[in-house]
Structure 1
């Protein structure tokens, strides 16, 4: 009975929470394993994305390094003559300073020589007076031998002083001759440096003129090719050294967004520009300037407060499209002039249409 009660009591009071705890722990472990798997996968895909970006960044850095080397070579070529001129100018300045110093020393030496000559004259007069007085005293024999001896000592001292002054004058004359020689040498070096500077200036001017003429030749060829490609559109024209696009061909009214027709014409323009740019030597630092112009009618909307902003935004839109078409960004520049550079002073619709334009000018930095 006692044993039966124990079994019955044990069966009725057993704890069933342990299996449930094991199930919860297993579920939690599975969730943790799933989260770790997702984390590893995310890390893997993130590493792949970062590797691709690092490769693209490395390529961009290589291109930037190449452009930096080209720019450095251009700057070195352009500044070599300037460095030579700066060095020669510094040498000329130093030579002028030396010449001024030698001139000052020469003036001081001359002043000392004049003082010494004056002192010599005074001592000579004193000596002659003493000699005359001694001769008179000896002739008259009115003074004693001791007084005569003192006069002779004074005379000897005067003669020694005269001899010393004569030596000093000789030394000063030699120093004066050396200073004059050094001054002549400095002036000769100054003349040679000035001649070299003049020659370098002429060479630099000739080099700059040659670069300008070379760029003018490429500009003429560039405009000639563009005229052949785009001559069928009346909205596109060449005026002097500028290629002019009517704004109506590129943009809608009061807008800076390029339309389909404008994109097509600008794509032809970019292809021609890229073709001719391959023939331009790399040391010729050319740039295509995009100028935006509007008419004189005021504008104010949610995008643009005035014509300045509209003309600048249109020029920037053209630059951005040319960059997307393959033109290097370092060869482009954008500028906005608003209504302040009209080409037609009239106020009719035709004049206003002519003044709304995009101008492109091939120039040199």
Structure 2
């Protein structure tokens, strides 16, 4: 039973009714008041069901709220993790961009290097071609000298060698100079004119070297040539002058004295000293040095 929430005070009985009527009115009013304070059984059950439903809905909503809060926390953690991943990706991208720029720089450098190498290769190819042409000319010069100086070569007075770079012509002192003199003999002038005829059109430098034995210069000759340095230099200069008069450009020639310091034989006897007293004419590249390694034929004894 549930009491009504309305007013429970019955209306006062009329004062003008008889005693018996006032009792009946009071009883009727009491019954009405009792009826008003009671709830029917069906209505009570509906209220209980609604209460249970609301309690269940409240529980469900509470669980939903708890689940949403847990999901929110999970999403917050995932958001932080994603932010970290985005930052890692940004750093990785910056690193890759730096590496890409470095690679582009390397590619540009390699392209420039390749261009330089191609230019160098083209230059080298041109040089090789020019050298091959010059080698052919030297071969022709060598063959021509061997023919022109055949008698002297056969007699062992002149040696002609093809070197790795150039030609070397060794002329014994007796072919060019009287003993103790730096004045070229008539025979020597004839030999040098033939040599000049083969050298005038070449592209190599012509180095004339004066070599002597190791004997000390004495007497009147010593007043003019105090040492073998002066004697070797004077003989080399005399040969250069004759070659120049024979058509070889002076710009291509130089005279050098080695004195007694480049012997080809021991100076112990006359034969050895005679071999050391010589003039060497070397054809060498304009930008190179005298070639000392033999790489071809030798015409001589």
Structure 1 position 170, deviation (Å): 7.8
Matched, 1:329 2:255: no
8 Å CA contact 1:222, 1:273 repeated in 2: yes
Mapping for residues 89-238 of structure 1, pairs under 5 Å: 175-233=94-152, 234=155, 235-238=157-160
1:340 partnered with 2:261: yes
Shift of the 202–345 alpha-carbon distance from structure 1 to 2, 3 Å rule, reads farther
* Equivalent of 2:206 in 281, 288, 301: 288
Partner of 2:283: 362
SS at 2:241's partner residue?
A: helix
Q: TM-score, normalised by structure 2?
A: 0.57
CA offset digits 1:130-152 (Å, max 9, x no partner): xxxxxxxxxxxxxxxxxxxxxxx
The answer to whether residue 244 in structure 2 is matched with residue 244 in structure 1 is no
Q: CA deviation at 1:183?
A: 1.0
Higher strand share: 2
Confirm or deny: 8 A CA contact 1:292 1:359 kept in the other structure.
Answer: yes
Q: Which whole-Å CA distance do the structure 2 matches of 1:192 and 1:330 have between them?
A: 42
Which residue, out of 173, 177, 187, partners 1:261? 187
**Contact 2:213-2:267 at 8 Å conserved across structures:** no
Q: Which has the higher contact order (CA 8 A, sep 6+)?
A: 2
CA distance, structure 2, for counterparts of residue 317 and residue 330 of structure 1:
16
| Contact 1:308 1:336 (C-alpha < 8 Å) held by counterparts | yes
Superposed, 1:270-281 pairs within 5 Å as 270-274=196-200, 277=201
Query: Paired residues, what number?
Result: 202
Q: 1:297 to 1:216 in 2, by over 3 A?
A: farther
* Matches of 2:189 and 2:253, distance apart in 1: 17
Aligned-residue offset at 1:346: 5.4
1:289/1:363 contact within 8 Å kept = yes
1:359: how far off?
1.0
Secondary structure of the corresponding residue to residue 224 of structure 2 = coil
The alignment partner of 2:112 has SS state of: helix
**TM-superposed deviation, 1:165:** 11
Structure 2 spans left out of the alignment, 5+ residues: 1-82, 287-301
Task: Tell me the residue number matched to 2:8.
Answer: none
Residues 273-313 of structure 1 deviation map (CA, whole Å, 9 limit, x = unaligned): 33xx1xx5xxxx42121111111212251112211221122
Decide whether the 8 Å contact of 2:214 with 2:267 is kept in 1. no
Q: Distance in 2 between matches of 1:251 and 1:171?
A: 90
Q: Whose radius of gyration is greater, 1 or 2?
A: 2
For residues 167 and 239 of structure 1, do their structure 2 counterparts lie closer, same or farther at Cα, with a shift above 3 Å needed?
A: closer
**Aligned residues of 1:245 and 1:357 also touching (Cα < 8 A):** yes
* Structure 1 gap ranges (5+): 1-163
Aligned to 2:237: 316
